[in-house]
Structure 1
Amino acid sequence: MNFHFPVIQTNVWDAFIAVPVVFILTQVIKIFLKVPKKYVPAVAVIIGLLFSVFISHRHHLIAGIFMGWFYGYAAIGSYASLKTTLLSIRNNQ
Structure 2
Amino acid sequence: MTNEFPTIHTNVWDAFWAIPVILLIIIILKTVFKLSESWFSTVATATGLLISIFISHRGSLPAGIFMGFFYGSAAMGTIYSVKIWYMNYRKD
TM-score (norm 2): 0.92
| TM-score normalised by the chain length of structure 1 | 0.91
Number of equivalences: 92
Q: Over aligned residue pairs, what C-alpha RMSD do you find?
A: 1.1
- Unaligned residue ranges in structure 1 (runs of 5+): none
Aligned to 1:69: 69
Query: Which residue of 1 is the match for residue 87 of structure 2?
Result: 87
Runs of 4 or more, structure 1, over 3 Å off, are none
2:86, 2:36 → 1: CA distance? 22
**Gaps (5+ residues) in structure 2?**
none
Whole-Å Cα distance in 2 between the matches of residues 31 and 62 of structure 1?
Answer: 33
Q: How far does the alpha carbon of each residue in 1:44-85 deviate from its partner, in whole angstroms, 9 at most, with x for none?
A: 100000010010101111100100000011000000001111
Identity across the alignment (%) = 47
- Displacement of 1:25 in angstroms is 0.9
- Quick one: distance in 2 between partners of 1:84 and 1:20? 19
Which residue is 1:16 aligned to? 16
Cα distance in 2 for residues equivalent to 1:91 and 1:56 = 40
Task: Verify the 8 A CA contact 1:26 1:47 in the aligned structure 2.
Answer: no
